[in-house]
Each structure stands twice: as C-alpha cells, then as structure tokens.
Amino acid sequence: MKHISVTYIGASSSKIDLFESQYPIPEGMGYNSYLIKAGKTAVMDTCDPSVEKEWMDNLLSGLDGAEPDYLVVHHMEPDHSSMIARLMDTFPGLTLVCSAAALKMIPNFFPSKDYSARSLAVSEGQSLDLDGASLTFYSAPMVHWPEVMVSYLPEKHMLFSADAFGSFGAVQKGIGGCSEDLTLSDIDAWKDEARRYYCNICGKYGAQVGRLLSKIPAKDIEQVCPLHGPILGLDTIGPAVELYSKWANYTPELEDEVMVACASIHGGTLAAAGKLVEMLNQKGVPAHLVDLCRTDVSYSVADAFRCRSIVLAASSYDAGVFPPMHDFLYHLQIKGLCKRRFAIVENGSWAPSAAKVMKEMLSQLKQVELVEPVVSIRSRLKDSDMPALEQLCAALVR
C-alpha cells in the first residue's frame, strides 16, 4: 500500500480588518488549504490574496520538489480561489478539478486565461483516482455559493467540507500534518465563532445545508477539514453536526432564553429594555440585553439564531424605526430566520412609528409569533408604563 499524507498548507491573517468586507474578525482569519500526497499529488483549494506568500511557501515546502498533479477547487469565492492562475501557470502539468458550475465561473475571475483544456469537471458521486488514494465528490450547492462541492478521502476518513463547518479566527500558524496539533478537541472553543460564521455566511441556505448533511458518509468520517477555522476530530464532529442540524433547521439552541435587542438614541428605550431583562430574570426566565447600536450586527444575527424569543425595543426615527433596528431586522430577513417568538417595545416623543415598521418587517419572516401587548413608551419609561411592561413580561414567561 502506498504511503498517503495529508498536510495543512493554509495560512492565517490578522491584518485584514473585515472578512468579506463586513465581518469583524478580532481573532484574525484562517484560509485553509491542504496537500494530499499519494501516488498522485492534489492541492486542495488555494487561498485569499492576503496570505498569498505564506500559503505559497507552505505549498512549496509541502511539495518538497514534487510537481502537483491536481488542483481541486471546492469553491470559487476569491478567499479560496485567488491563486488558481498562479498555480496553473507555475505547474504546466497541473489539472484543475472542480464542479461544472465552477468551471463556468473561472473565466470571469481570470479573464485573460483559458484553462479549459487542463480542467476536469466532476459531478455528484464521481471519484478521482490519486493512485493509492481517492477523492469522492459531493455537490453542495448554495453552501455558500452554487458551485460548491465537498470531497471525501476514504483512505484517511477525511471530509473536505468547503465553507461548511468553517469558523472565524486564525488557525494555528505554520505547516503541519492534519493531526492533533490542528484538530479541535473542545466544541465550546469553536461554537460561538462557528455559529456567527454559519448564520451570516450560510444562514439563508438551511435547506441546502441539511441536504448536504444527509448525504455525507457521517459515520465513517474521522476528520472534517473546512476552508476556515480548526479541523474537527472524533471528539468534536458529533457535537458540531448536531449544532449544524439545529442551525440548518432554524431550531433555537436555547428554548427559554430571551434576547432583548435594543436600538436607543438617547437611552430611554435602553432603560426600558434593561428593566424588562431584570423583570424576566426575577421571574426565573434567562434574558439578556443586546445594544444593537454598539454590537456588530453579525453577532446579533448569531444571537437571534441561538434564542427562541426576541424582544425588539427601538426608538422611532423620522417616521420610521431607528436604523440599527432596521438593519438588524433586515439581516434576520435576508438570513431566513424563522420559527421564533417576537415582542415589540417602541419609543417616540411625538408620533411613535417604530412598532409599525418593526411589525411590517416581521411579517416578512416565516413562522413567527408576536407576543403581545406591543408596549409603546413616550420618551422615558414611567410608572404608567409598568402595567403594559408587566403584561408583556408575563406573556413572555408563558
């Protein structure tokens, strides 16, 4: 039997300010790539332009003078595909392996190049022989883009999962085998940034993620190698798949927790929202306040995916709703959040308009329940507002 090795050749960046020009990445970002060496050699995806040099160094070091035979492209988004042209031009014997949909995208990203004669389009269930090892491909449309596929290396029980099971955050630096050093053993260290990544990147496509989960050979997989974040191993694959099933079904992780999401201009609505959190806690219901004005929306979206009940508390603004709340609800809508309970608290100083807009925006979400009463405050929470707030609290407790 031939020796088979899989080496991590990805690279991380702590220099880019925002991933995809919108997501804060306080812990940096990892762009994963892998090198499989059997009788034939396959490079599994390339990288983001921000880590080009380190990735190329890792690749050349991993190749150790060998010429790669295949470049497998699971996903054409530039954070993984930017080095396709450089690699194809550096190694004239290289064959590009990707889905038919990816093949169509390549000329759009690399207009001056034509690799069609050196490309192999693979379809669902097809295998690529690496002489002593093999890769089987599964299409994963819309897990994040339409051309995405994942692949399975049965000889090593490894799934190359593209953006699925990815996470924000740098991956331990340096080149290494895909062994213990890069494999996550503590799911709690993964789930917050993996949830934020999932909800914002794949959130809208729960049905497609569910379809992928149902067709991968789950019981045989010992390592999941995503394009971002740590590799999942035997201790973490089970819990990660369980979380993914919940997220894909829009099932909240926390049935009882109430997220009180607040957008307040001068603090009056924030005080009312804080009071409601206190009242819920006093009744034994776990609740927490999120200041939408001071929390990046990517975190708030992930929080909404986590909790069953969400209270929306916002100031009125120019006959509408204060923009941070509008932005939050717009994000919940485009990410397809459903199956939730919502409640509304509005504030206004002369003609409150926030509740009407929030209701309209909620009507765009599927399978949501509005917990009443809608509470309407003028400028500051007063004793006369307490009966309505208490009624809402009681309704949320039920």
> Which parts of this chain interact with Fe ion (CB under 5 A)?
77, 79, 144, 163, 227
* Binding window for ligand FMN (CB under 6 A); candidates: 109-117, 165-173, 202-210, 265-273: 265-273
SS3 label, residue 243: helix
Q: Which does 161 bind (CB under 5 to 8 A by kind): ligand FMN, Fe ion, none?
A: none
Question: Closest approach of Cβ 318 to ligand FMN, in Å?
Answer: 5
Query: Residue 71 to residues 13, 112, 219, 253, 344: CA-CA distances in angstroms?
Result: 23, 19, 27, 38, 52
The single residue among 269, 298, 300, 309 that binds ligand FMN, judged by CB under 6 A, is 269
Tokens matching residue 105: 């995208």
Which position has the token pair 């035997």?
A: 234
Among 353, 359, 373, 388, binds ligand FMN (CB under 6 A): 353
**Which of 58, 151, 300, 315 is in the footprint of ligand FMN by CB under 6 A?**
315
Which partner from the list ligand FMN, Fe ion, none does 151 bind, CB cut-off 5 to 8 Å by kind? none
Cβ atoms of residues 167 and 226 within 8 Å? yes
Least distance between Fe ion and beta carbon 134 (Å): 25
Q: Which of Fe ion, ligand FMN, none binds 163 (CB below 5-8 Å, type-dependent)?
A: Fe ion
Task: Kindly identify the residues of this chain, within the stretch 333-352, that bind ligand FMN according to CB under 6 A.
Answer: 347-352
Kindly give, in sequence order, each residue whose CB lies less than 8 Å from that of residue 264, ignoring residues fewer than 6 positions away: 270, 273, 291, 293, 313, 314, 315, 322, 347
Query: Least Å distance between CB 352 and ligand FMN?
Result: 5
Q: How far is the CB of 268 from ligand FMN (least distance, A)?
A: 3
Q: Which of 178, 233, 184 shows the shortest CA–CA distance to 7? A: 178
User: Which token pair is 123?
Assistant: 């379809």
- Interface residue with ligand FMN, options 82, 264, 300, 309 (CB under 6 A): 264
> From the CB of 322, what's the least distance to ligand FMN, in Å?
7
Q: Say if CB 304 and CB 334 are below 8 A apart.
A: no
318 binds ligand FMN (CB under 6 A): yes
Q: Which of 63, 241, 265, 289 binds ligand FMN (CB under 6 A)?
A: 265
Q: Shortest gap between Cβ of 184 and ligand FMN (angstroms)?
A: 41
The entry of ligand FMN, Fe ion, none that residue 347 binds, CB within 5 to 8 Å by partner kind: ligand FMN
Out of 244, 247, 250, 317, which residue is the one contacting ligand FMN (CB under 6 A)? 317
- Would you count residue 382 as binding ligand FMN (CB under 6 A)? no
- Residue 147 interface partner, choices ligand FMN, Fe ion, none, CB cut-off 5-8 Å depending on type: none
Residue 318 binds which one of ligand FMN, Fe ion, none, with CB within 5 to 8 A depending on kind?
ligand FMN
Nearest alpha carbon to residue 321 among 341, 292, 300, 288? 292
Residue type, 391: Q
Q: How far is the CB of 344 from ligand FMN (least distance, A)?
A: 13
Q: What is the DSSP string of 289-331?
A: EEETTSS-HHHHHHHHHHEEEEEEEEEEETTEE-HHHHHHHHH
Could you give the C-alpha distances from 391 to 4, 133, 374, 375, 388, in angstroms and in order?
Answer: 65, 64, 10, 9, 5
Find the residue with minimal CB distance to ligand FMN: 348
Count of residues engaged in binding ligand FMN, rule: CB under 6 A: 20
Per DSSP, helices labelled H in 64-173 are 78-81, 84-90, 100-109
Note whether 143 and 202 are within 8 A (CB).
yes
- Give me the sign of the Cα torsion angle 159, 162, 164, 169: positive
Query: Among all chains, which residue has been given the structure tokens 């924030």?
Result: 270
By the criterion CB under 6 A, which residues form the site for ligand FMN? 264-270, 315-319, 347-353, 379
